[in-house]
Amino acid sequence: MKKYFINPDKKQYKANLHSHTLLSDGKLTPEQMKNAYKEKGYSILSITDHERPKNHSYLNDDDFLTITGYEAYVRPSEECIYDLYGPEIHINLFAKKPDNEAYICYNKAYCKYIKDLSEHDKLNKVGSTETRRYTAQYINKFIKTAVDNGYLVSYNHPVWSMEEEERVLSYENIFSLEIDNYGCFQTNATEYSGALYDKLLRKGRRWACHGGDDNHNIRPLDSVYSDSFGAFTMIMPEKFDYDGVIAAMEKGEMYSSTGPEIYEISIEGDTVHIESSAAKQIILYTGSKGPKFVIAPDGETITSADLKVDSRAEYFRICVVDEKARKASSRGFFKDEW
């Protein structure tokens, strides 16, 4: 029997799950951000200002939904000093209910990017307020506190963050890896974390994956240096409302992309069928040395593929690559799901 992982009959909604506004170190107002993204065909936006949980549902309309959240971080320096050559961790906290503005593990040193502290001071502060420590133990406790207080927690821009792989593998309670981050990709051209994602999946970490712009809009939206509209997440909720979108994110009913779209992923027997927008290559990874793939002949593109999963595979994931080397990445689908 055919089993769908991406069902062509299900509507997909375009989302930017990582963005910064004037509330922290971005340049646009939340209203400008909403207008710019709505105009580009996005239906979902999460404004994730640094250490600034905020319910932006005043921006919502029938076709546009904001997801409450913020970006938290931990640095090795107790004073939270930025070190160009040192690691740090950034995580996005997505509130499962729109009015949840809980601020996790308040620490004044980490509020340096917040413009207006007067509103910030009134937030509901939860969890330990001890000095943040850059240890796996502390960070796991931080993540657990966020989860216990109603957040989905994602692991952001692994390349930029420069954390050791073993460290990343030690994190628990993460729901999704930010496999694409456009703001970082623009500066390093390597912020695509497919290899790390396979390492996580091989170790049985059932993280989903998603993409975001992480836009700060220091440059204008029409500049080649604009950090908007480069990486996004397609989300497939049962119903287009807050609860529906959060449920879809939590279940991994989404995929990341920097361009191509995936219309179908299904499996029948050992054959995975993929339908996509025009592609140069379609790849099926299973965590082995031998991904299965098809490549379009020179000057041509393909829009579908049938690729076999071998019997030893514990999971598979799909990547669709277009002519500009932009990628769409599904999450890993584990054996007990097919």
Residues that bind Zn ion (CB under 5 A): 71, 90, 156, 214
Q: How far is the CB of 10 from Zn ion (least distance, A)?
A: 29
Q: Evaluate whether 332 touches 316 at the Cβ level (below 8 Å).
A: yes
Write b or e for each residue in 204-238: b if 16 or more Cβ atoms lie within 10 A of its Cβ, otherwise e: ebebbbbbbbbbbbeeeeeeeebbbbbbbbbbbbe
Q: How far is the CB of 193 from Zn ion (least distance, A)?
A: 14
Q: How far is CA 328 from the centre of its chain?
A: 13
**Nearest residue to Zn ion on Cβ basis:** 90
* Bridge partners, 73 (sequence order): 90
Torsion of Cα atoms, 230 then 66 then 174 then 337, to 10°: -90
Q: State which residue, 51 or 214, has the beta carbon closest to Zn ion.
A: 214
Q: Which two tokens stand for residue 79?
A: 């004073």
* Cα 280 to Cα 297: distance, rounded to the nearest angstrom: 8
Q: How far is the CB of 211 from Zn ion (least distance, A)?
A: 13
Q: How far is the CB of 103 from Zn ion (least distance, A)?
A: 17
Element (H, E) at 25: none
Torsion of Cα atoms, 31 then 15 then 173 then 98, to 10°: 40
Q: How far is the CB of 20 from Zn ion (least distance, A)?
A: 6
Q: In angstroms, what is the C-alpha Rg of the chain?
A: 19
Q: State which residue, 88 or 101, has the beta carbon closest to Zn ion.
A: 88
Q: State which residue, 143 or 305, has the beta carbon closest to Zn ion.
A: 143
Q: State which residue, 69 or 332, has the beta carbon closest to Zn ion.
A: 69
Q: State which residue, 5 or 160, has the beta carbon closest to Zn ion.
A: 160
Q: State which residue, 163 or 214, has the beta carbon closest to Zn ion.
A: 214
Amino acid at 189: A
Q: How far is the CB of 317 from Zn ion (least distance, A)?
A: 24
Looking up tokens 């140069």, which residue turns up? 280
